[in-house]
A and B are shown apart, each in its own frame.
Chain A
Amino acid sequence: MKKNRLLINPTVELALKSQPKTYWFTILIVLFMIYLIVISFEGSGINEYRLAQFAKSFGYMLKGFMNPDWEYFFGTGDIWEFKDSIVLAAIVTIAIAFIGTALSLILAIPMGFISARNITGKATSKTGDVILVFIRTFPEIVLALVLLRVFGYNALTGVITIAIHSVGMLGKLFAESIENIDKGVLEALDAVGANWLQKIRYGVLPQVLPDFISISLYRFDINLRSSTVLGYILSIGLGLKLAFASNGPDWNKVASVMISIIVLISIIDYISGKIRTKLV
C-alpha cells in the first residue's frame, strides 16, 4: 500500500518526510515537569498515615460546615457576647482594608503622577518607579511583622501595613493609567494657556479618574484578603478568629470563620465588580 503511494506523488512524499517534529519538544518538557514534581514531593512526608489523617480531618471540616457555630458567629447565646462575635471581627477586617486602602491614596496618587513619564521627565519618573518597585516587592507580611514592634498588636498596624504596601501597587497602576491618556487634550489646554496644575485638573484628571476608582476598588478587594491574613499575625479581626478556632481544632468554629470569609469577600467582590463595570 505504502509503495503505491510513493510512486504516485513524489512531491507529497517529500512533504511527508519534511514534517516538523515539534511534538518531541512538548513531550520532553512534560516529562521533565513530571520529574520535577515527583522530586518536589520527596521529603514532604507524604505517606498513607498522613493521607488518612487528611481524609479524616476533611470529613470533620465538612461536618463543621454542616453545623457552624451560629452563636459564636453572631455573638448571641450564653457563652458569647457581640464583642466576641465573628460578625464584629468581619467588620473590623473590612475596616482595616477600607481605611488602609483609602489612606494609601494620599501617597499613591502623587506617586502615580511622579512616576508617569508624560508628567515628569524620564529621570524623575524612573526614580519614582524604582521606589514603587521597592515598596511593592517588600513582602506585606514582613512589613507587618516589623511594624508590630512600632505600633503594637492592633488594627492600626494592619492599616499602616496595607496602606504602605498599597502605595507601591496603586502607584504603579496609576502611573500606567496616566501614561495612557490622550495627549491631544493636554495640547489643547496648552493652547488656551493653562498652567500645569490646571492641565492636571482639566486635562488629566477627567480621563484617569474612572480608571483610578476602578483600580482602587480592585485593590480594596485584594486588601480585604490581606486584611484577613494580617489579622492572623496581629491577632485581630477574622484572622484572630481563625487562629482561635485552630486550637483543637474546633471545626465548627473553623467552618463559621470560613463561611464568614467566603461570604464577606464574595459580597464585596460582587459589589465592587458591579461598580467597576459601571465605570467603564
Chain B
Amino acid sequence: MPRSFTLPNGKIVTKPKNNAWIYTTIFIVLFALFWLFIDFRARDIQLNQFDDILKQMFSPYSAGGIQETWKDYFGYTSKLVEPLIDTMKMSFAGTIIGTVAAFPFSVLASVNIVKNPWIYQPFKFFSNLIRTIPLMVVALIAVLFVGTGILSGIMAITFFSFSIMIKMLYEVIETVDMGPNEALEACGANKVTSFRFAVFPQVVTTYIGYIVYIFEINIRASAILGYVGAGGIGSILKDNVLYRYDRVGLIIIVLVVLFSIIQIFTNLIKSKLV
C-alpha cells in the first residue's frame, strides 16, 4: 500500500512498499495453522507436580516417604563413574574417527581443489543430505544394527561427527588463499603435495578447532544417547527418570560439572591454537 505525500512546494514523495507487514502476517497465519496440530488435554496438566519434582531432584526429599540424607543423595555418584567413563570413551573415539574420516570427503567437495563439478557437486549434495539426520536418530539406527551398548554409541557419534564436519570443513577450504598453491604448482608439485604444503597449513588450526567444538556437542548429546540404548550415562537416566528424580537431579548436577570441566579444557586447547 504505497502512500504518497504531497509537500507544500508541490513535490510528491512516495513511500515504498513495506514488506514487513506481509511477513508478519505470514508468520501469524503459520503460527495459527501449526497451533491446530498441537494437541493437549487440559485435564492432564498437573502443575502441582512441578514443585514436587524439583524438590525431589535437588534435595534428599523423597516422595515415597523414605527419608534420605545428603549422603544418600550424593552416594549414588559412585554408580555413575563407569557410565560416565563410557560416555567419554564413546564421544572421544567417535569424534576423532568421524572427523578424521570427513577430511578427504571435504577436500573432494571443495570447488577450489577439485575443479570438476561432476565430482564436487555430488559430494556437496551427499554431505548436505546426511547432515540433516539428528544424532539420536543415528543412534537408534545404530542400535538396530549392532544391538545396545557402547559400540552403537561409537558408531553413531562417528557417523554424526562425520556428517557435520564435511560441510564445516569444505566451507573453510573454499575460502583459503590459493596463491601459495599456485606457487607450489609452479615449483613442480603435484596436486597432493601442493595441497599438503599450501592449503592444509591454512586450514589445520580451524579444523582442530572444529574437532574440539564437535567433541563438545557430542559429549552433551551422548549423555542422552543411552536413552536409545547406545550406552553411557543416558541409559541410567532412562531407567530412573520416571520414579527416582533424586538420581535424575544428581545426574544433571554431575553432567553440569562434567561439561564445565570439559569446557575449561577445550577453551585451553582453543587458546593454544591461535
Q: In the complex the two chains form, is B37's CB within 8 Å of A95's CB?
A: yes
Question: Can you list, as one digit per residue, whether each of A11-39 has a CB less than 8 Å from chain B (1) or not (0)?
Answer: 00000000000000000000001001101
Selected contact of B37 from candidates A39, A102, A148, A155, CB within 8 Å? A155
Determine whether B149 belongs to the interface, using a CB cutoff of 8 Å to chain A.
yes
Alpha-carbon gap, A41 to B146, bound state (A): 14
Q: In the complex the two chains form, is B145's CB within 8 Å of A53's CB?
A: yes
Alpha-carbon gap, A58 to B34, bound state (A): 36
Selected contact of A155 from candidates B38, B50, B92, CB within 8 Å? B38
Task: Find chain A residues with CB under 8 A from B31 CB.
Answer: 98-99, 102
Interface residues of B in 136-155 (CB under 8 A from A): 136-137, 140-141, 144-147, 149-151, 154-155
Interface residue stretch chosen among A72-80, A133-141, A173-181: A133-141
Selected contact of B140 from candidates A33, A36, A226, A246, CB within 8 Å? A246
Selected contact of A44 from candidates B44, B141, B151, CB within 8 Å? B151
Task: Find chain A residues with CB under 8 A from B154 CB.
Answer: 40-41, 44
Q: In the complex the two chains form, is A50's CB within 8 Å of B38's CB?
A: no
Contacts known (A37-B96, A99-B38, A139-B223); A261 close to B248, Cβ less than 8 A: no
Task: Find chain B residues with CB under 8 A from A240 CB.
Answer: none
Contact residues on B (Cβ < 8 Å of other chain), bracket: 35 or more
Determine whether B4 belongs to the interface, using a CB cutoff of 8 Å to chain A.
no
Interface SS, B side? helix
Task: Find chain B residues with CB under 8 A from A242 CB.
Answer: 137, 140
Task: Find chain A residues with CB under 8 A from B46 CB.
Answer: 149-150
Contacts known (A54-B145, A155-B40, A232-B228); A258 close to B133, Cβ less than 8 A: yes
Contact residues on A (Cβ < 8 Å of other chain), bracket: 35 or more
Contacts known (A98-B30, A102-B31); A142 close to B149, Cβ less than 8 A: no
Question: Can you list, as one digit per residue, whether each of A253-265 has a CB less than 8 Å from chain B (1) or not (0)?
Answer: 0100010011001
Determine whether B268 belongs to the interface, using a CB cutoff of 8 Å to chain A.
no
Task: List the A residue with the shortest CB-CB distance to B93.
Answer: A40
Determine whether A121 belongs to the interface, using a CB cutoff of 8 Å to chain B.
no
Determine whether B124 belongs to the interface, using a CB cutoff of 8 Å to chain A.
no
Q: In the complex the two chains form, is B134's CB within 8 Å of A226's CB?
A: yes
Q: In the complex the two chains form, is B150's CB within 8 Å of A43's CB?
A: yes
Alpha-carbon gap, A246 to B136, bound state (A): 13
Determine whether B186 belongs to the interface, using a CB cutoff of 8 Å to chain A.
no
Determine whether A167 belongs to the interface, using a CB cutoff of 8 Å to chain B.
no
User: How far apart are B60's CB and chain A's nearest CB, in angstroms?
Assistant: 18
Determine whether A127 belongs to the interface, using a CB cutoff of 8 Å to chain B.
no
Determine whether B256 belongs to the interface, using a CB cutoff of 8 Å to chain A.
yes
Alpha-carbon gap, A50 to B90, bound state (A): 17
User: How far apart are A178's CB and chain B's nearest CB, in angstroms?
Assistant: 20
Question: Can you list, as one digit per residue, whether each of B93-124 has a CB less than 8 Å from chain A (1) or not (0)?
Answer: 10011000000000000000000000000000
Determine whether B17 belongs to the interface, using a CB cutoff of 8 Å to chain A.
no
Q: In the complex the two chains form, is B220's CB within 8 Å of A139's CB?
A: yes
Task: Find chain A residues with CB under 8 A from B128 CB.
Answer: 266, 269
User: How far apart are B132's CB and chain A's nearest CB, in angstroms?
Assistant: 4
Determine whether A151 belongs to the interface, using a CB cutoff of 8 Å to chain B.
yes
Top 6 closest pairs, chain A to chain B, by CB: A156-B40, A265-B132, A95-B34, A40-B93, A40-B89, A152-B44
Q: A37-B92, A261-B132 are in contact. List 20 more A-B contacts (CB 8 A).
A: A37-B93, A40-B89, A44-B150, A44-B231, A45-B150, A53-B147, A54-B145, A57-B146, A95-B35, A99-B34, A99-B35, A102-B27, A141-B224, A142-B251, A150-B53, A152-B41, A228-B137, A262-B130, A266-B129, A269-B132
In the assembled complex, 26 residue pairs joining A and B whose CB atoms fall closer than 8 Å, in A order, are A36-B93, A37-B96, A40-B154, A41-B154, A44-B151, A50-B146, A57-B146, A95-B35, A99-B31, A99-B35, A99-B38, A139-B224, A141-B227, A146-B53, A146-B57, A150-B50, A150-B53, A151-B45, A154-B39, A154-B40, A156-B40, A159-B38, A228-B137, A229-B134, A261-B132, A261-B133
Binding site for A on B (CB under 8 A): 27, 30-31, 34-41, 44-47, 49-50, 53, 57, 86, 89-90, 92-93, 96-97, 128-137, 140-141, 144-147, 149-151, 154-155, 220, 223-224, 227-228, 231, 234, 237, 241-242, 245, 248, 251-252, 255-256, 259
